Structure 1
Amino acid sequence: MKLSKIWLNINGADRMVVCNPEKDSLAEVLRRIGLTSVKVGCGTGVCGSCSVILNGKVIRSCTKKLKAVEEYSKIITLEGIGTPGNLHPLQVAWMNYGAIQCGFCTPGFIVSAYALLLENNNPTREEVRDWFQKHRNVCRCTGYKQLVDAVIAAAKVVRGEAKIEDITFQPSKDGGCYGKPLVRPSALAKVTGLADYGDDIELKMPAETLHAAIVQPRVAHHAKILKIDTSEAEKMPGVVKVITYKDIKENGGTNQMAEANLHERSTVTLPSRKILCEDKIFRYGDVVALAIADTQDHARAAAAKVKVEIEQLPEYLNYLDAVMPDAIRVHDDTPNLFCQQPVLKGAALDDASKVADIIDNSAYSAEGSFYSTREPHLSIEGCTVQAYFDEDDFLTIHCKSQGLYTSISRIGNSIGVPREKLRIVQNFTGASFGWSTNAGDLCLVGAAAVAVKGPVALSLTYEEHQHFSGKRCPCHSNGRVACDENGKITAAEFDFGMDHGAYSWGGDHVIEKQVRFTFFPYYLPHVAGLTRAANTNHTFGTAYRSYGSPQAYTLSEALMDMLAEKAGIDPFEFRWRNIAREGQTNINSHPFKEYPMEEMMNIMRPYYEKAVTEAKAADTPEKKRGVGIAWGGFNVTEGGTDQCTITLELAPDNMIVKYDTWQEMGQGGDVGSLMVTLEALKPMGVTPERIRLAQNDSKICPDSGMSAASRSHYMNGNATKLAAEKLMDAMRKDDGTYRTYDEMVTEGIETRYEAKYSCTATPGITRLNPNTGIGDPTPAYTYVLNLAEVEVDTATGKTKVLRFVCVYDVGKIGNIDAVNGQAYGGISHSIGFALSEDYSDVKKHTNIASSGVPYIKDIPDEIILIPHETYRNDGPFGSSGASEAFQSSGHIAVLNAIYNACGVRIYEMPAKPEKVKAGLDILAAGGKIEPPKKYFLGSDLYEELENIKTNPVAFRGDDMFNALGDSPDERFY
């Protein structure tokens, strides 16, 4: 290897670097000398996280080779823009305008914005958007609006029209922070580039740390493995070991990831996923071996030399093929269609076919078949994990995890380390949106560390991550709904087929969402519905924000528009007539927890009327304008078995330390924990400066549960209230003042208090009955009402979302910036889901750009969020949950708006321009757009419901589940 010495002027100082100019990118060199604000996400120049200023111009440094950089070039990174003690206005604005979420993209955005302000210190909002679009800066968390807000605010300070204090949030002096936009505790580290994410940790680990690379054959979706030949790989430079499943088993592991199997109708008898494949490849992203070497480059070179011989097997890449009668089993122990859940209401409880009769005899009915995509999460940071044995011989894994204790359960006994000797630590995390609920990458790095008995780091390329990680389940659905002559719904029937991909974990849980949220939050007197999940040979289904409910709304909110049209009623008015009123029941035959629907529609009504009027006025033959509406919502918590434990401690310096595992994925786990702690300790007058968060290390923190199911604020807040009461009772003196730490110790009073909150505190919580779907599984809901205004270019079919309005109810708001951040982000994902996002073509969908991630000009700048706050009696301080409702149904508001604009209804997502254009061409030729024929989902709906009725299963109920373990995470094989 021939190296070169080159001088570069970096952040104002001349620095000498030694590099391989043919191989090294500028990003690699900058990171190697310690400037780790330069993040590498995609590695292909399409995300902008690696943005730096080179000789006055913003460039993406991950694709800029050193051979193309002139000596003494001037380079500016985030470290040269501002430091913790001397922040630039952009950094201050980012912290105070809700522009910080996961923070992985933040350095690239601030560098890019800094270059903009050097050229133009008085940009318009559209000029800011154009700039970020031009430089391909992508944010997957925020929805972009807050980033533009921050640039505009900072520009005022740069021009001298405002002071730093004017763009800085000042907490109220009375200590009342709840509901306010308190700055995140992690924000300062993120805006200065000092937050170390996974790859930064790897770069800064001790020199003896080894590096692993995966062998991901990518030769087939389904194949028998005939031979794995590692001999050539083992001879490669720097290689320490190449391991296969045999090594894991020799080290005492099962090579089997633990799986939940809680549903009575699941046919799964064995966990379906191996860490390293043994005799079969089940999907394109499966891993068969790990190469472990002294450097990452050596490990990758060795991995490329592993040879895998296969015998091709039949491949089923979608649900419809996998459930055909002649399809072979993906897994030998279970049919491909492995789980189902019915829901019956009203007349259906006596005879499900009566629902069909009611529909047939109603004044109006509408029916359709729909498909929602295999949506990829597209976080900018992919899989990057590190493992080592700590001072107490715990196998310690640093990672991105949405549930530290859940990860321990999912690793289980798979790698030969007892669960009680596993320690999970969360790194600063570049978002997830659900994919990191699966612990596959943790198992890989853990197995490598066990094999070499030392520290190992594993970092996947973005393409490897894209094929390795799970996705939202694609879904085929059939449905029919009817109403009377007054537009009141009489009955509905529906049938969902969920493609759960190669592995079954979670499939028995996700199917409960369609039988809860189809036609939510309307009142339907009679319902016959069924959801089924099947294994295929595509990537596995996993959690994604609003887990399982977008598939439900894809059907029901489209059918609501279609039925409104049949009845000749405005779609907004039709929904007004059918929202549930006080005391009316949901499709699971239980009252809604809350009834904010009328107030929310009253708030939305003037926005809807204005949008309709403006759309009509602006409509032209070339640019068709339309308005779409969609209700949505989601549950709060994981149900009756959900529980959360936290600890509060009075420290020797009189700081109050909060220990929890509120995993911070960018949604605000740090500031959320701070907010509920401040509110719980409000009688003591505690200020933010007195709270120290000790979070997300399973060795020192109790199990607070997953950051999922919109549960964290609700569960952690309630647990914090209990712990705070214990601590304050102990500290309180007879005169009402509070003891110091020294006084507590002198009087022999305990200074550390733990509390556990369980959903069993809410009476009446019951799981869904597996035979009828009757049940009330969670203590609260969240509600959203979405409006999208779109413009369709009739020449190309391209859809542009011009404006989005969201009225939402999540109870009392804990931190307005955090909640709105989830709203903006969820809406941006929804727009991408509707128009572009997909992971179906494994050869094409290898990075965020080719998979359809929305850039800033794909998302409207005009996103109007309107909170409707109600007080939730069982929630902490009147709060509920947030996040997931915001991605439940916004996509259907967009699709309904497309139909309203140009008459093209998209039945099979995404609504790409060529699909819309094809529909426009059919209409222009005087034709009619034919919807998909009714999908074959495994058997006739009523035939299967009758089979379930005549073959009921025993309902184990919550008592059975409570007996299985102290937490949901323990209920695994």
Structure 2
Amino acid sequence: MIFRKGTYTINGVDRMVISDIENETLAQVLRRIGLTSIKIGCGVGQCGTCTVLLDGSPVRACTRKFKSIPEYSKIETLEGLGTASNLHPLQLAWIKYGGVQCGFCTPGFIVSAKGLLDVNPKPTRQDVRDWFTKNNNLCRCTGYKQLVDAVIAAAEVMRGEKTKDSLLFEMPGDKRVYNTHYPRPAALGKVLGVTDYGDDIDIKMPPGTLHMALKWSDEMHANILSIDTTEAEAMPGVVKIITAKDVPGPNEMGNPLFHPRSLVKQFHQPVLCDKEVNRLGDAIAIVVADTRKNARAAAKKIKVEYEKLPVYKSYLEACLPGAVPIMGIPSPFGFQPVIKGEPTADIFDKAGEPASDVHVVEGSFSSSRQPHLSLEPETAQGFYDEDGRLTLAYKTQGPHLHQLMISMILGLDQSQLRVIESPTGASFGAAMGVETLAYVGVATMVMKQPVTLTCTFEEKQRVTGKRPASFCNSKLACDSSGKILAHEFDFVSDLGAYPWGAEGVYVKSARFSLNPYNNPNIRGLVRAGLSNNSQATAYRGAGSPEMYTSGEQIMDMMARKLGIDPFEMRYRNIARPGDLTNNGYPFKFYPLEDMMNKMRPDYEDALKWKKEPATPGWKRGVGVCVGGYHVSTPADKSEVSVEIDPNGFFTYYNAWADQGQGADIGSLALVHEALRPLGVTPDKIRVVQNDTKTCPNTGIAAGSRSHFFAGNATRDAVKKLMDAMRKEDGTYRTYEEMVAEGLPTRYEGLFSTIGSGLSQLSPDTGMGDPMPDQNFIINIARIEVEEATGKVKVSAVHSMADVGVIGNYLAVDGQAYGGLMHSLGFALSENYYDEGKKYGTPLGCGFPKCNDIPDDMTFEYHETPRGNGPFGSGGASECFQSVCHVCVLNAIADAVGVRIYELPALPEKVKAAMEAKAAGREYAPGKYYLGQDYHEVLEDIEANPVATKPAKLSDIEIARAGH
């Protein structure tokens, strides 16, 4: 190793730096000397989280070798921009306009924006978007719009046109936090770059901390014949190599399957594999060493001898006759029917009869294995705390759920394990997985020392789950007025190598085929099966985007066949009072007619836009879709607690995991609203979150449940506290008076749907009432297609959603625009396969850049108060990512007359479809073979019912489901 001493002007101060000139990058040096606002996300210069200004120009520090930087260069990072008491206008604007969500990309964006304003103090919105696109500043949370808003507003202040006060939140006259744009409490640390995420904690762990690296499978499907660690053990700095024989507990991450129609009741997924591997993300050994570099070098020296087995890259291959079952599990292994109304075959048969008023369309559709693509590395730390408990810090979406699951994996009692959520750089569902926590837990127990793990982006892509791929054969019958008469579907969810959380993914799909409509007669089957790709896991909207891919397209196909406007077709069929859901129960409320009436002028404007002259060589199209999601399940509960402290302060405890969606402001808004009769100001409320040692079990941050459930539990806790504080004269006791009278100062709140009368879907018919609340959304997309290339450009998306009363507009806007961005990526570019380095980078997976997302995005909120929700609120997040991808597909069909049946709609697919149309052919897949004919399966199910009432929910199922 060769070292160099140099002097550099860093944030305006000359600093001496000693660097390893052979190996260190600019990002590594700056982080090593304490400037951890620089984040290493992708590690290959694609995401911009590491952006710094080098002599005034933005550079991606993760790929810039430090030896290439001349001495006395000027380096600017976020730490040099502003202070907590004197924020820079960009930092203030990021807070005001909701530019901060998870905050992991925030330092890179703000520094990049400063670089722009230094050279262009009066940029247009397109100038800002071009700058972020050119400099590869990626954001997965916001949809970019709020970031552009912030730059424009900050520029106005920097030019002297407005004051800094214009960037501050002004408290309303009633001093209310709820239903306002009150800033997120965690935003300050994020815009200053001082919030420590997992990898920042990694490099700041105490002396004696050991570093981990994993030996991953080299094969997608193989038996393990031998594992040779001899050479790896002799590598510098190696302390131990952990294999399956060293794992405390059962070496088992697999979980039970409770659905009565699952052919498998328990599946096997080792923590460390020693007999077989089923995907590239399987881990075979853990290397523990003195440094990350030494651990990684040793992991490369572990030799594994394999016996290759057949590789099935999709369910379509795994379900073929003669295919070898993965882990002995047949594909399909899970079934959920939907049998409603009259026999559909009789209705479809009438389509061929003379004078029949039955019209039929059918098609086969598929959706991709969508990666979550959060930019923070997969990272976790383990240690033993002051009470002797094994403690794991991770970006968990459910501290208590993971406490339960990891304690079972490690053979511990729950009381022996503590789980803490570290500040989190987003997950969108990926942090539901247990793998990373299991690896770190095993290493900590074996070594009895603190350990830390940080994966590369490529490794994170391997180890974390993805949205499952799906395949669907769908069929629709309507009369000539467009009224739905009958619907059939045969749908399969490709869960990858392990059916982790399978029921929470595939069973939900049975709710969403033609979900927002009056759909009287249905014969449908949802199946689940395996392949040798990444396992499925939660992803915003779980189950709904996959099913809407077929449902909202086949509605569009019918409208075009009948010559009915697509908006009008939907308007005629939307659920109205008295109509029942697909699953046979009334909708929770019926806002869609009013929502569509309000959206109709926007749709008519879009049609006028379509007729205007387009750019030469481009065709315009308009798409519409109606969707939504459900809130939670019948098996859910949430606990919080609140206590009064001295001097008029209150502490509020919950385990509402904050993945960037706004659990911090959601918690503050809820408890402040509940405490308003006491006149408590926000600065008198301390929110303590996401540590199983101190916080009650609030449930997982998933299923659009958190605000709804935590909010109701908060109202319960505060009511109990205020009842105890209330004197006979109607005034309230102080903390000192409570203590003097021997009254408790802390009270628990609980909200539960268990025993509420809700029911799981029947495994025999799919009928049931599984959710306490639901939400709806309408999207209208304007797109353009380049005829020469098939490239699709989304020009605008205008939407209206009903998620109840908005608790905080910044947080809900963030979910809305972020969900929309994910939907557009799902439609046009995003996919993942466990092969090739392409999928180990954000752009390789199709991550949209700023200019890939339209600046013209609007959301209106139709705020129907929920009678059973906290302060009228419902659940929000997932409706925003449920269906808009289909809006784009429908708009493509409107623009160029071809339909893209298989996601994503890459330019080459669109071009091939247009060429096929020109040649008189249709570019469409044939009917998918998904296993035994679904009519036969449904007949078998009807002939052999397994339940006359929902099965009793076990404690494990309730804890595991969490929603």
Same structural fold, with TM-score higher than 0.5 when normalized by the shorter chain: yes
The one-letter code of the counterpart of 2:363 is G
TM-superposition CA deviations, 1:850-886 (whole Å, max 9, x none) = 1000000000001010110101101111110011000
| Matched letter for residue 238 of structure 1 | G
Q: Are 1:258 and 1:410, in contact at CA under 8 Å, matched by a contact in 2?
A: no
Aligned-pair CA distance for 1:414: 1.8
The one-letter amino acid paired with 2:959 is: D
**Counterparts of 1:271 and 1:687 in 2: how far apart (Å)?**
51
Aligned residue identity for 2:253: M
Tell me if structure 1 keeps the 8 A contact 2:461–2:840. Answer: yes
Q: Does 1:261 align with 2:257?
A: yes
* Residue identity matched to 1:523: N
**For residues 472-487 of structure 1, what are the structure 2 equivalents within 5 Å?**
472-487=467-482
- 8 A contact 1:514–1:552 mirrored in 2: yes
- 2:349 maps to which residue? 357
Shift of 1:627: 0.3
Residues 96-135 of structure 1: pairs in structure 2 closer than 5 A: 96-135=96-135
| Match in the other structure for 2:774 | 781
2:638 is aligned with what amino acid?
A: C
Please state how far the C-alpha of 1:359 moved relative to its aligned partner.
5.9
Contact 1:648 1:656 in 2 (8 A): yes
CA shift, 1:42, in A, is: 0.3
Displacement, 1:966? Answer: 7.8
Distance 1:258 1:559 in 2: 37
5+ residue gaps, structure 1, are: none
On the 8 A contact 1:272/1:504 being kept in 2, the answer is no
Q: Are the equivalent residues in 2 in contact too, given 1:362–1:482 (CA < 8 A)? A: no
CA shift for structure 1 position 164? 1.1
In structure 1, distance between residues paired with 2:44 and 2:562? 51
| Aligned-pair CA distance for 1:35 | 0.5
C-alpha distance in 2 between matches for 1:257 and 1:32: 35
Whether the 8 Å CA contact 1:30–1:38 is kept in 2: the answer is yes
- Structure 2 counterpart of 1:33, one-letter code: I
Using the TM superposition, give the Cα deviation of residue 19 of structure 1 relative to its aligned residue in structure 2, in angstroms.
Answer: 1.3
Residue in 2 aligned with 1:613? Answer: 608
Q: Is the 8 A contact 1:373 1:474 kept in 2?
A: yes
| Corresponding position of 1:310 | 306
In the alignment, is the contact (CA less than 8 A) between 1:40 and 1:49 conserved in 2? yes
2:464 to 441, 457, 469: 469
By how many angstroms is 1:174 displaced?
A: 2.2
Higher mean C-alpha deviation, range 103-112 or range 728-737? 728-737
- 1:16-44: CA deviations, max 9, x gaps? 11111121000000001110000000000
Provide the rounded CA distance (Å) in 2 between the counterparts of 1:168 and 1:175.
15
Confirm or deny: 8 A CA contact 2:407 2:417 kept in the other structure.
no
Contact 2:347 2:485 in 1 (8 A): no
Find the counterpart in structure 1 of residue 88 from structure 2: 88
Pick aligned residue for 2:399 from 398, 404, 424: 404
1:548 CA displacement: 0.7
Relative distance call for 1:771 and 1:362 in structure 2 (3 A) is farther
Taking the TM superposition and a 5 Å limit, the aligned residue runs for 1:909-920 are: 909-920=903-914
Aligned-partner Cα distance in 2 for 1:369–1:362: 24
Aligned to 2:676: 682
Residue in structure 1 matching 2:833, options 828, 837, 840: 840
Equivalent position of 2:802 in the other structure: 809
The aligned runs of 1:151-230 (5 Å cut-off) are: 151-217=151-217, 219-230=218-229
In the TM superposition, what whole-angstrom CA distance separates every residue of 1:473-502 from its partner, at most 9, and x where no partner exists?
000100000111221110000010110011
In 1, are the aligned partners of 2:347 and 2:477 still within 8 Å (CA)?
A: no
Matched residue SS, 1:517: coil
Distance 2:865 2:929 in 1: 45
Q: CA separation in 1, counterparts of 2:122 and 2:560? A: 47
Match of 1:629 in 2: 624
| Counterpart amino acid of residue 137 in structure 1 | N
Q: Out of 930, 939, 943, which is 1:950 matched to?
A: 943
Residue 520 (structure 1) shift: 1.3
The separation in 1 between residues aligned to 2:158 and 2:136, in whole angstroms, is: 24
**Could you say which residue in structure 2 is the equivalent of 1:76?**
76
Q: Which amino acid aligns with 1:309?
A: E
Out of 555, 562, 568, the position equivalent to 1:567 is: 562
- Please, what is the CA RMSD of the aligned residues? 1.4
2:428 alignment counterpart? 433
- Stretch deviating more after TM superposition (75-84 or 835-844): 835-844
8 Å CA contact 1:239, 1:291 repeated in 2: yes
Q: Distance in 2 between matches of 1:277 and 1:500?
A: 20
Q: Is the 8 A contact 1:621 1:794 kept in 2?
A: no
Q: CA deviation at 1:68?
A: 0.6
| 1:39-70 CA distance string (max 9 Å, x none) | 00000000000000001110000000111111
Match of 1:707 in 2: 701
**Cα shift at 1:818:** 0.6
Q: Which amino acid aligns with 2:159?
A: R
Structure 1 CA distance for aligned equivalents of residues 133 and 615 of structure 2:
27
How far does the alpha carbon of each residue in 1:634-686 deviate from its partner, in whole angstroms, 9 at most, with x for none? 0011x121000000011234311111011000000111111111111111122
- Decide whether the 8 Å contact of 2:474 with 2:490 is kept in 1: yes
Secondary structure at the counterpart of residue 708 of structure 2: helix
- State the match for 2:40 in structure 1: 40
CA contact (8 A) 2:396 2:402 kept: yes
State whether structure 2 residue 963 is matched by structure 1 residue 969.
Answer: no
Match of 1:757 in 2: 751
Question: Using the alignment, how far apart are the partners of 2:648 and 2:304 within structure 1?
Answer: 60
What whole-Å deviation, never above 9, does each CA across 1:584-642 have from its counterpart, x for those lacking one? 111111111110000110111111110111112134661100000011100011x1210
* Separation (CA, whole Å) in 2 of partners of 1:303 and 1:142: 37
CA separation in 1, counterparts of 2:318 and 2:900? 24
Residue 548 of structure 2 is aligned to residue 553 of structure 1: yes
Aligned partner of residue 618 in structure 1, secondary structure:
coil
CA distance in 1, matches of 2:395, 2:350: 50
Query: Which residue type is aligned with residue 81 of structure 1?
Result: L
User: 2:843 aligns to what SS in structure 1?
Assistant: coil
Instruction: After superposition, give the CA deviation of every residue in 1:290-310 in whole Å (9 maximum; x if it has no partner).
Output: 100010001001111111110
- 1:898–1:316 distance in 2 versus 1, CA, 3 Å: same
Identity over aligned residues, as a percent? 51
Cα offset for 1:514? 2.1
Ranges in structure 2 where 5+ consecutive residues have no aligned partner: none
From the superposition, tell whether residues 970 and 781 of structure 1 become closer, same or farther in structure 2 (CA, over 3 Å). Answer: closer
Matches within 5 A, 1:898-909: 898-909=892-903
Counterpart CA distance in 1 for 2:541 and 2:209 is 38
Cα distance in 2 for partners of 1:574, 1:936 equals: 30
Amino acid at match of 2:932: S
- 1:662 counterpart letter in structure 2: W
The DSSP-based 3-state class of the residue aligned with 1:599 is: helix
Return the offset for 1:362: 4.6
- Does residue 579 of structure 1 match 2:571? no
Which moved further from structure 2: 103-112 or 315-324?
315-324
- Tell me the residue number matched to 2:484: 489
1:921 paired to 2:940: no
Number of aligned residue pairs: 958
Relative distance call for 1:500 and 1:927 in structure 2 (3 A) is: same
Task: Report if aligned partners of 1:145, 1:861 keep a CA contact under 8 Å in 2.
Answer: yes
Show the counterpart of 2:245: 246
Q: 2:327 is matched with which residue?
A: 331
In the alignment, which of 670, 686, 690 is matched to residue 696 of structure 1? 690
The partner residue of 1:385 within 380, 383, 387 is 380
For residue 857 of structure 1, what is the amino acid of its counterpart?
N
Query: SS of 1:347's equivalent?
Result: coil
Rounded Cα–Cα distance in structure 1 between residues aligned with 2:437 and 2:91:
33
The structure 2 residue matched to 1:799, chosen from 778, 792, 795, is 792
| CA deviation after TM superposition for structure 1 residue 406, in Å | 1.1
For the 8 Å contact 2:916–2:923, the answer to whether it is kept is: no
8 Å contact from structure 2 (residues 622, 782) kept in 1: yes
How far, CA to CA, are the matches of 1:82 and 1:675 in structure 2?
A: 27
